[in-house]
Amino acid sequence: MAKEGKIVGFVPTMGALHQGHLSLAEKAAEDCDEIITSIFVNPTQFGPGEDLGRYPRDLEGDIKKLRSVPKVTTVFQPDPEEMYPEETHIYVTLDSLEERLREGRSRPGHFKGVATVVTKLFNIVQPHKAYFGQKDGGQCIVIKRLVQELLINTEIKLVPTLREKDGLAMSSRNAYITPQERPHATVLYKALQELHNLFVNGERKAEKLLQCGIGIISANQNVRIIYLDLCCSHTAKQFQGSDVIPKGVKVMASGAIMLGKTRLIDNILLEA
C-alpha cells in the first residue's frame, strides 16, 4: 500500500475509536505525508471466554472520526477470512518474552495473536512508521522486539496514554463500565501514581513499591486485582521481592483489575 516517495504512517486499531486512537493518527499526521489506518477485531488475540463477540464495533462512526484527521487516505478493513485463511498454520510466537510479561501470563496466547496480526498488517501496508499507544504497555514491548528481531523495516512510534479528566486511561472497553462502577475505575491509575511518587522519592525496592500499589487497590472492595507488576520496558525482565531497581533502567509499572465484568489495564513508566 505504501507509495514511493511519500512517508507513510500506519495506525492499526480494532475500531470503536476514541480520542486516544485519534491522537495516534494526529501524531502520524505531524510526521508523515500520508496515513493508513486499519480496523480489524483480531480474533487470535482473544482467549476462550473473553469478549471477542461483544467487543464494541462502530465502523460508520469510526470512519467519520478518521475523516477529521488530516492525511488519513485509507481505512483498511479486512475480513477475518482474509487475514486467516482456513488453512492457517504459521503464527509468530514469542518464546520466553510472553511468559516474562504479566499480561502475557494473564492472557495466554494473547501476544502470539498480536505479533501475528501486526506482522501480517506490516507486510500488507509496508509503512515507514507505525503508531501505538503506551496504554497497552506490554504490546509496545512486544512490537518493538518484533520489529527488531524480525528485521522489519518500520519505525515504531509510541504515543503517551490519553486519559479522561480523572485519570482513567481511554479505552474502547470503557464502554462496558456502568455509571455505578465508574467512580471506582480510576483505582488502578491512583495506585500506579502512588507507586510512582514513592519511586520518585527514592524507593527502589520492588517489594516496597508493589506493596504500596497493591494496598491501594485491595482497599477498594469494588474491584479485583489481577496483577501489579514492575518490569524493564525493553527486555520485560521482572523486578519483584527483594530486587532493587538499578540506576539507568527504564521500568514499566503495570497492572490489571476487574471492575464488574470489565477488565482494565494501565501502566506508567519509571526511570531511575
Report, as residue numbers or ranges, the catalytic residues.
Answer: 21
In three-state secondary structure terms, 35 is strand
